[in-house]
Amino acid sequence: MRIGVVTFPGSLDDVDAARAVRLAGGEVVPLWHADADLPAVDAVVLPGGFSYGDYLRAGAIAARQPLMRAVVDRAHAGMPVLGICNGFQVLCEAGLLPGALTRNGHLHFRNRDQALLVERADTAWTSSYAQGQTIVVPVKNGEGRYVGSDADLDRLEGEGRVVVRYAGGNPNGSSRDIAGVTSADGRVVGLMPHPEHAVEELTGPSVDGLGFFTSVLEGVLS
């Protein structure tokens, strides 16, 4: 199964994301943000980092690059897309996910191992987990506070589109402890925490993050 991993100028975690895809058993297709065409891939990962130096707003300029137009079109046709950290910001800016990510409430960059409660185990990226499962993966962000109007957040919760929630403390002041959300069809997922950094005992706090990548591979196969 071919999983595209996009590199933007300023991406940091594209190599780790590609590594996580390989460890999960997928074939990585490196993608460059300025390309107009999206090659034949079964899913796409938008990695973390500081695309375009976070100028204007985090993810704003990346979301308007040529490749992203193709990603948005394919996502509307059902292709799974996972955005991690800066990738989540890009997905919100591109209009594929609701809400926005802004400066952390305490204004500090926060980097720690974070417990997450999996609330949706039936999306394209979370089927390897059990609903209600707690996992631990790193979180590292300066603009990770998920916000939206109360009406929008109520609707999101009503539709069951919160995928993961912070447990044991909210690292950035996100509304309602929201750490990740999904599109209405469950194919597009945005996560502020970093599952790609928790795929091996040697380098991560757990291997809990691998499930996001095995989920999409299982889904594509079935």
Partner 1 sequence: MPRVVVDVVLKPEISDPQGQAVLGALGRLGHTGVTGVRQGKHFVLDVEGTPDEAELREIAENLLANPVIEDVELHLSED
Residue 181 is a binding residue for partner 1 (CB under 8 A): no
Which residues sit opposite 145 in a β-bridge? 102
Which residues sit opposite 180 in a β-bridge? 164, 191
Name which position in 102, 165, 167, 205 contacts partner 1 (CB under 8 A): 102
CB-CB contact of 202 with 148 (8 Å)? no
| Annotated catalytic residue 200 | no
Residue 76 is a binding residue for partner 1 (CB under 8 A): no
Residue 201 is a binding residue for partner 1 (CB under 8 A): no
Name which position in 4, 83, 148, 193 contacts partner 1 (CB under 8 A): 148
Residue 147 is a binding residue for partner 1 (CB under 8 A): yes
* Closest of 105, 109, 118 to residue 212, by C-alpha: 118
What is the three-class DSSP state of 69?
helix
State both tokens at 55.
């100028």
Residue 176 is a binding residue for partner 1 (CB under 8 A): no
Burial, 70: exposed, middle or buried (Cβ in 10 Å; 0-12, 13-18, 19+)? middle
For the bound state, the minimum distance from the C-beta of residue 77 to partner 1, rounded and expressed in Å, comes to: 23
Residue 142 is a binding residue for partner 1 (CB under 8 A): no
| Annotated catalytic residue 196 | yes
Residue 66 is a binding residue for partner 1 (CB under 8 A): no
For the bound state, the minimum distance from the C-beta of residue 100 to partner 1, rounded and expressed in Å, comes to: 5
Residue 110 is a binding residue for partner 1 (CB under 8 A): no
CB-CB contact of 8 with 49 (8 Å)? yes
* Closest of 156, 164, 81, 167 to residue 121, by C-alpha: 164
CB atoms within 10 A of CB 179: 29
Residue 99 is a binding residue for partner 1 (CB under 8 A): yes
| Annotated catalytic residue 85 | yes
Of the ranges 8-16, 20-28, 104-112, 155-163, which one interacts with partner 1 (CB under 8 A)? 104-112
Which entry of 33, 85, 93, 143 is annotated as an active-site residue? 85
Phi, psi of 11 (to 5 degrees): -65, 140
Residue reference for tokens 């790609």: 196
120/131 Cα distance (integer angstroms): 6
Name which position in 9, 10, 66, 105 contacts partner 1 (CB under 8 A): 105
Residue 155 is a binding residue for partner 1 (CB under 8 A): no
Q: List residues with catalytic annotation.
A: 85, 194, 196
Footprint on this chain of partner 1 (rule: CB under 8 A)? 56-57, 60, 64, 92-93, 98-100, 102-107, 147-150, 152, 173
